[in-house]
Amino acid sequence: MAAMTRNTRNNSHGRFPGAFGPEEDDDLPKSKSQRKRDMTELQDLGAELEALAKDRLARVPMPESLSDAVLAARKITSHEGKRRQMQFVGKIMRSLDDDEVAAIRAALEGFKGTSKAETAKMHLMERWRDLLLADDAMLTKFLGEHPGIDVQSVRNIIRNARKEKELGKPPKYYRELFQAIKAALESDDDGDESAASDTPKEPEA
């Protein structure tokens, strides 16, 4: 009977490992390596803020002390001076609470998403330009998707762009064609969503 009791006690630990161990404490202090990773991450966020365009930096929610420190860093030209100022920026970042850091991170991620969309749209316009210069049939397709443009004007631009390329002249009309495509896409009723999804394909031979 004693042996059975011992077996039962042992089996209960085997079937439910850790069931009788101490509960995990979420408030345990972070390890030295984790603290170092957190500090590096906050320092990197500070560097991203310093590298932002001025208008975007103004839209990031942050305490005035951090904003002043970042703006001061942007004005410093010496390497050592900027390094010390960015260390100060990192120090302020480490003093922020989790909600403040999360707000800054969300703003930066939003800018990255916007940049990706802008890059995709630019590639789409470059793609249309190449197709329009290569094949007259693509103009019909383009007009069907963006009927609000001045047809005759675009025809003239395409013809002049081809001619200047043949003669090796500066790409004046080549650039004008890009601007005409950009205007057509921006005025399209479907907006950026259409521009992002309507990727043109090469016509079948």
State which residues form the domain around 148: 117-191
Residue 81 maps to a domain? yes
Residue 11 maps to a domain? no
pLDDT lower than 70: segments of the chain: 1-30, 32, 188-205
For the CA atoms of the chain, what is the radius of gyration?
30
Q: Is residue 135 domain-shared with residue 84, that is, in the same domain?
A: no
Q: Is residue 185 domain-shared with residue 121, that is, in the same domain?
A: yes
Give the pLDDT confidence score for residue 27 in this predicted structure.
52
CATH at 82: 1.10.60.30
Q: Is residue 128 domain-shared with residue 185, that is, in the same domain?
A: yes
Residue 196 maps to a domain? no
Residue 176 maps to a domain? yes
Phi–psi pair at 65, nearest 5 degrees: -60, -40
Give the pLDDT confidence score for residue 12 in this predicted structure.
43
Q: Is residue 92 domain-shared with residue 46, that is, in the same domain?
A: yes
Rounded Cα distance between 110 and 118, Å, is 12
Q: Could you give the residue ranges of the DSSP H alpha helices within the chain?
A: 2-15, 32-51, 54-57, 64-75, 79-95, 98-134, 137-145, 151-166, 172-187, 191-197
Place of tokens 């383009």: 142
Q: Is residue 87 domain-shared with residue 151, that is, in the same domain?
A: no
Residue 61 maps to a domain? yes
Give the pLDDT confidence score for residue 21 in this predicted structure.
41
Residue 138 maps to a domain? yes
Residue 126 maps to a domain? yes
Give the pLDDT confidence score for residue 19 in this predicted structure.
40
Q: Is residue 91 domain-shared with residue 127, that is, in the same domain?
A: no
Give the pLDDT confidence score for residue 163 in this predicted structure.
93
Q: Is residue 123 domain-shared with residue 184, that is, in the same domain?
A: yes
Say how many domains are in the chain: 2
Give the pLDDT confidence score for residue 17 in this predicted structure.
45
Q: Is residue 142 domain-shared with residue 83, that is, in the same domain?
A: no
Q: Is residue 121 domain-shared with residue 172, that is, in the same domain?
A: yes
Residue 91 maps to a domain? yes
Residue pLDDT, tens place only, 91-145: 998 999 889 989 998 888 888 877 778 888 888 989 999 999 999 999 999 988 8
